[in-house]
Amino acid sequence: MGEMRQHPTFPRPSASAIDKARRLLERALGPSKVITSADGCAAYAGDESDQPPVSPDAVVLASSAADIEKAVRAASEAEVPVVPRAAGSGKSGGAVPVGGGIVIATIGMNSIKEISREEQIAVVEPGVILADLHAAVEAEGLFYPPDPNSLKMCALGGNIAENAAGPRAFKYGVTREYVLGLDAILIDGTRLRTGRRTVKGVTGYDVTALLVGSEGTLAITTEATLRLIAKPPSVMTLLCLFPDVRASGRAVSALVAAGVVPRCLELLDRPTLDAVRARGVGVDERAGAMLIIEVDGEPADCEVQAERVGEVCMDAGALDVLVAQDEAQRERLWEARRQLSPTTRAMARYKISEDVVVPRDKIPALLDEVAEISAATGVRMLTYGHAGDGNLHVNLLWNDPDLVPQVETALSRLFRAVIGMRGTLSGEHGIGTSKADFLALEQSPELIAIERKIKALFDPKGLLNPHKIFPRRTLEAAERGERDGGAERAPGFPTHVVAPSHGAC
Amino acid sequence: MGEMRQHPTFPRPSASAIDKARRLLERALGPSKVITSADGCAAYAGDESDQPPVSPDAVVLASSAADIEKAVRAASEAEVPVVPRAAGSGKSGGAVPVGGGIVIATIGMNSIKEISREEQIAVVEPGVILADLHAAVEAEGLFYPPDPNSLKMCALGGNIAENAAGPRAFKYGVTREYVLGLDAILIDGTRLRTGRRTVKGVTGYDVTALLVGSEGTLAITTEATLRLIAKPPSVMTLLCLFPDVRASGRAVSALVAAGVVPRCLELLDRPTLDAVRARGVGVDERAGAMLIIEVDGEPADCEVQAERVGEVCMDAGALDVLVAQDEAQRERLWEARRQLSPTTRAMARYKISEDVVVPRDKIPALLDEVAEISAATGVRMLTYGHAGDGNLHVNLLWNDPDLVPQVETALSRLFRAVIGMRGTLSGEHGIGTSKADFLALEQSPELIAIERKIKALFDPKGLLNPHKIFPRRTLEAAERGERDGGAERAPGFPTHVVAPSHGAC
């Protein structure tokens, strides 16, 4: 993967602050938990976004909340930034230490501390891999719905920081709906326990919901109490082929209107299907769009739902509706869906994956707009994602570095179109650094001012995951693709380490 | 209804501040929208909690966001408190102007501004009565799940302030899950628009979730964008009779474990059934506990669910399982359930209705504890509520004013037992003034400190709904039932206006 968009650079700590931080960390944690070598730090430089990797000045391999507390106390004393990192699979730059400082890696804190069938909860550490949690709770007949497609590599700490979602969010909601309580550490080392173990509760402000989705800028999660539900007894997966996206969009609207609530309602547009075909997967040549629809529940109810899905899709103009015949076929289908992100990534030297949301009935209009933007700018664009929620991943692909201005234009037009349709910039990836400069497109100065005050309340010195969410440039400068001229960079660290290409969205 | 618990008194604004506020309000809003007479103000003194009514110094009858903005600007200038009030049906004192000042009544802002079938959203003003919203969206084939039993009188503004729930929360979740975005006004007159119209979205901090359930202490809602779902095509209601609460508790656990998700799962204990019988409703004399269970979905699926509910209940030791035969029978059953609050209120001179939540598997233990507390203190206690969520309304009833110390003891023991079971003080009523002094029983000093900072961020002078949520006394003083000695009261306003007894929970 290459990286050619112009990104703002950010100030880094002074050499003496870095020295002090390293010394304090090694004293507090011992040398085995602290990485300071350039090579060692480089492994914690990037995530799965288009944000260029930036090496931290030190990495703490945390194995407990006490380690994290020690690390933030050291960082606060030395006044260097702290960037929490779980699996590093984020799509918006959240875990990239753009301002240097200390990465606190929580991936080693991977214990599932409790699964209670009676209370239907799980208590997990932030480094637990989502797929491992799925397997563990399903073995108990329970179910944790959030399922970002990176589920085999992403971890709960990151899921909570970004308020991750995935296909099943259509029926079951996003991570926020499943986080009952958090143990977290503030930048000054204060331990905070928010929320509760019960499903309901309104005692005090909803600090838990404030921390979920705060992208690691307010506190570092050390433990989460998660709500589970009973595992649906059966699942059926349907593949619905349409001549074009307009027909598939009609089907999505009709399904929603009919009150059918599949657990997943995923859309693939024509360029995406072409990409799938190019990989040798046989897809009916007449198909210009596809919906992957999955229903769950009691077996008899699944049959009823599947039948209604089929009827509604055929009424909306489907060419064909196919049902996965067994679990192996189902798994192959989802594996193909999960591979879309790496597949499309391999299609060009450069790729940006966007994550916009529009009201569900605006999906055809958005896809029309994407086609127009692609034609006008010459940037190849393909779109797939969670159509049931109106949350589509618009992917921009290009090979020629000189196309960057057109890419900036395309992004800017896309964002303006989405906001014009009363949509939102991000459905599940977060703002991070990648969309920070566009925040003002969606939110008023008054709201951003309140959010900045909340940030300052939790982190008065701005040391916890700085430069995320909030814009550094004016919207106009960002739309012109201008580089941030005010920032300085300390020498000696690589800015463009190549990130591994195993992400998914 | 009488009122005999000792409540702390709170400082009130000076006479000159009140004069200034009244003058500014009348100038900004005109005399027709401002009430200052003692009689007129007294109608806005109380809510449906055990908090004694306290008359405000003025009432603003807001008919628009502009009115609210003018009112808060006047209040800020005069430095007098502002208390937002929708229907005044709250159960924790949230709308009682305990520190005097200005009540902003939003009940006149009762327009449903939009219902979109395509987007499945509604846009409402804060004075819309919940039952009116239900009727309007259901006429469009849509559904707004939250259903506090006060639904015929409560309004959306209060529902949002308290994060209201109700029986259907078991399947569908609480108000927070249905508020996509808010238009709100801060105490300094700043207009804030939070959230979005789309179901998903992670742009910036979740300020919407922070405002929902903040009990009118952070901002005043002027408009809410609500998520709707498709109306379930059919509903079935079952009445399950058990010999005792232990058996009904087993049934609740078994239903949850079996993955049956009724939309409602309501429990009535023996003293509650006796109260129902005393009103002349025929309930099988062998029954010592009752579950009202409601399932919804496709008709065929309802049948399947109902059958499983019946099997599970019989296995758990049910005496009988009855199915409501038609809509009229269903409605009578729910009307009886909704009348429980006024019914029990009429049973004694004094009543406190608590709203605790315990992990679902602790329901039998909680009911045992309630029986013990009642026996030890001599305070009559009866319990009913949302067993599926572990959210039970424990009602304390007494006639003898001299029993107040025992009531304080009973409450304190109840709260300690609930926290000991890792439950929470309030499932849906909020903390208000009624449980503020117990906050530290559940939350750490560090968490309360963060919440106080959030309050100060939105309301630096502490003018917006002051004295709610946060404790004024130490936990120890509260548990001893001590009156707050430090506060002063301005003369001239009645403290104990009799509130109308039409509340429900």
How far is Cα B100 from Cα B434, in angstroms, rounded to an integer? 17
User: Distance between CA B140 and CA A53 in Å, rounded?
Assistant: 51
Q: What is the pLDDT of residue B372?
A: 97
The DSSP code for A504 is -
Candidates A190, A199, A204; nearest CB to B451 = A204
CA A37/CA A27 separation, integer angstroms:
17
Region label for B481, one of left (φ > 0), alpha (ψ between -120 and 50) or beta (otherwise):
left
Q: Write out chain B residues lying below 8 Å of A307, CB-based.
A: none
Global ipTM: 0.93
* A454, B457 contact by CB (below 8 A): yes
Contacts 24+ apart (CB under 8 A), A370-373: A370/A269, A370/A394, A370/A414, A373/A410, A373/A413, A373/A414, A373/A417
Do residues B206 and A213 touch, judged by C-beta distance below 8 A? yes
Alpha helices in A258-392 (DSSP H): 270-278, 299-315, 327-338, 340-345, 363-377
Q: Nearest 10 degrees: CA dihedral of B228, B165, A447, A8?
A: -80
**Could you give the C-alpha distances from A142 to A24, A122, A135, in angstroms and in order?**
44, 10, 9
Alpha carbons within 13 angstroms on the beta-carbon side of residue B38 total 6
Residue A183: φ, ψ to 5°: -100, 130
8 Å CB contact of A204 and B431? yes
CB contact A249 to B (< 8 Å): no
φ, ψ (nearest 5 deg) of residue A134: -55, -50
Could you tell me the mean pLDDT of each successive run of 10 residues in chain A, 505 residues long?
Answer: 63 97 98 97 95 96 98 98 98 96 98 95 98 98 96 97 96 97 98 96 97 98 97 94 93 88 94 87 90 92 93 96 89 82 85 92 92 96 94 94 93 96 96 94 97 98 97 80 41 27 37
**Would an 8 Å CB–CB cutoff place A328 in contact with chain B?**
no
- In this complex, is the C-beta atom of A267 within 8 Å of any C-beta atom belonging to chain B? no
Q: What angle do CA B129, B225, B203 make, to 5 degrees?
A: 150
CB atoms within 10 A of CB A44: 28
Please indicate whether, in this complex, the C-beta atoms of B389 and A198 are within 8 angstroms of each other. yes
The alpha carbon of residue B158 is apart from the nearest alpha carbon of chain A, in Å, by 14
Among 3.30.43.10, 3.10.310.10, 2.60.120.10, 3.40.50.2300, what is the CATH number of B1-105?
3.30.43.10
In the predicted model, residues of chain B with pLDDT beneath 50 are 1-2, 483-505
CB contact, 8 Å: A258 with chain B? yes
Q: Say yes or no: A311 contacts chain B, CB-CB below 8 A.
A: no
**What's the pLDDT score for residue B474?**
82
Residues 6+ apart with CB under 8 A from B426: A201, A202, A203, B92, B355, B356, B357, B435
Distance from CA of A249 to the nearest CA of B (A): 12
Residue B130 CA to residue B147 CA, distance in Å, equals 8
**Residue B314, C-beta contacts closer than 8 angstroms, at least 6 positions apart:** B321
User: Per residue in A357-366, pLDDT tens?
Assistant: 999 889 989 9
CB of B280 within 8 Å of a chain A CB? The answer is no
Best residue of B143, B178, B205 to probe chain A, by most A CBs closer than 10 Å: B205
Pick from A119, A200, A205: CB nearest B214: A205
**Shortest CA gap B306–chain A (Å):** 13
Q: How far is B337 from chain A (nearest CA, A)?
A: 20
Domain locations along chain B: 1-105, 112-230, 234-338, 342-445
* A contact residues 76-105, partner B, Cβ 8 Å cutoff: none
Strands laid side by side in the A58-61 sheet:
A34-35, A58-61, A102-105, A82-85
Q: How far is CA A10 from CA A18, A40, A100, A472, B154, in A?
A: 16, 22, 9, 9, 51
Task: Inspect the interface and report whether the beta carbons of B233 and A446 lie closer than 8 Å.
Answer: no
Q: Does B169 touch chain A (CB under 8 A)?
A: yes
Distances, alpha carbon A322 to alpha carbons A287, A291, A309, in Å: 13, 11, 11
Cα separation, A243 vs A317, whole angstroms: 8
Which residue in the set B196, B257, B453 is minimally distant from A117, CB to CB? B257
The type of residue at B319 is L
- By CB neighbour count within 10 A (0-12 exposed, 13-18 middle, 19+ buried), where does B139 fall? exposed
Our CA-based measurement puts residue A69 at a distance from the nearest CA of chain B, in whole angstroms, of 15
The pLDDT value given to residue B338: 80
Q: Tell me, yes or no, if A209 comes closer than 8 A to chain B by beta carbon.
A: yes
User: A359 touching B, CB under 8 A?
Assistant: yes
Q: Is A114 on the interface with B (CB under 8 A)?
A: no
Considering the four listed CATH numbers 3.40.50.970, 3.30.70.2740, 2.20.25.10, 1.10.3210.10, the one that applies to the domain covering A342-445 is: 3.30.70.2740
Q: How far is CA B326 from CA B10, B237, B310, in A?
A: 52, 9, 18
Paired residues of B241 in beta bridges: B290, B320
Q: Which of residues 396-455 of B touch A (CB under 8 A)?
A: 422-431, 435, 439, 442-444, 446-448, 450-451, 453-455
Fold matches, A234-338 and A342-445: yes
DSSP string of B314-346? HHTT-SEEEE--SHHHHHHHHHHHHTHHHHHHT
Task: Give the position of tokens 């040391």.
Answer: A463
Q: d(Cα B268, Cα B65) in Å, to the nearest integer?
A: 42
Closest-CA distance of chain B to residue A133, Å? 19
Look-up of token digits 């870095």 = A18
Say yes or no for a CB contact (<8 Å) between A203 and B177: no
Q: Which CA distances in Å does A147 have to A320, A345, B362?
A: 27, 21, 30
Task: State residue B447's pLDDT score.
Answer: 98
Instruction: Check CB contact under 8 Å for A191 and B443.
Output: no
Q: How far is B213 from chain A (nearest CA, A)?
A: 7
Alpha helices in B323-464 (DSSP H): 327-338, 340-345, 363-377, 404-420, 439-442, 445-458
**Is some CB atom of chain B closer than 8 A to the CB atom of A256?**
yes
Which residues lie closer than 8 Å to B280 by C-beta, 6 or more apart? none
Mark yes or no for CB contact A200/B442 under 8 Å: no
Q: Which residues contact B158 (CB under 8 A, 6 or more apart)?
A: B85, B86, B87, B88, B89, B90, B94, B95, B126, B164
How far apart CA A21 and CA A80 sit, in angstroms, is 7
CATH code, residues A15-108: 3.30.43.10
| Cα(B86)–Cα(B128) distance, integer angstroms | 9
Phi, psi for residue B353 in degrees, rounded to 5: -110, 115
CATH number of the B112-230 domain: 3.30.465.10
What is the per-residue DSSP string for B136-183?
HHHTTTEE-----TTTTT-BHHHHHHHT---TTHHHH--GGGGEEEEE
Nearest CA in chain B to A191: B446
Provide CB contacts within 8 A for B325, sequence distance 6+.
none
Residue A437 structure tokens: 């400069």
Whether residue A435 contacts residue A425, with contact meaning beta carbons closer than 8 Å, is answered with: yes
For residue A425, the chain B residues in CB contact (below 8 A) are: 203
Chain A residue whose CA is closest to B173: A200
Q: What is the pLDDT of residue A502?
A: 34
Q: Mind telling me how many Å the CA of B203 is from chain A's nearest CA?
A: 6
Angle, CA of A354, A356 and A358, to the nearest 5°: 155
Inter-chain CB pairs, A–B, below 8 Å: 263
CATH assignment, A234-338? 3.30.70.2190
Buried b (16+ CB within 10 A) or exposed e, B185-202: bbbbbbbbbbbbbbbbbb
Does A148 lie at the interface with B, CB-CB under 8 angstroms?
no
Tell me the backbone φ, ψ of residue A225, rounded to 5 degrees: -100, 120
- Residue A202: its chain B contacts at CB < 8 A? 162-163, 174, 213, 426-431
Among positive and negative, which fits the CA dihedral B426, B432, B434, B438?
positive
Q: What pLDDT shows up at residue B258?
A: 84
How buried is residue B323: exposed, middle or buried, by Cβ count under 10 Å (0-12/13-18/19+)? middle
Q: Say how many residues make up chain A.
A: 505
C-beta separation of B164 from B173 below 8 A = no
Q: Does A482 touch chain B (CB under 8 A)?
A: no
Mutate to test the interface with A, among B199, B363, B419 (most CBs of A within 10 A): B199
Chain A: residue whose CA lies nearest to B356: A201
CB contact under 8 A, A457 and B458: no
- What pLDDT, in 10s, does the model give residues A71-110? 999 999 999 999 999 999 999 999 999 999 999 999 999 9
Using the Cβ of B235 and the Cβ atoms of chain A, whether some distance falls under 8 Å is answered with no
E strand map for A70-189:
82-85, 102-105, 112-116, 121-124, 142-143, 179-185
Through-space distance between the first and last CA atoms of chain A, rounded to whole angstroms: 16
A179 and chain B in contact, CB less than 8 A: no
Let me know how long chain B is.
Answer: 505
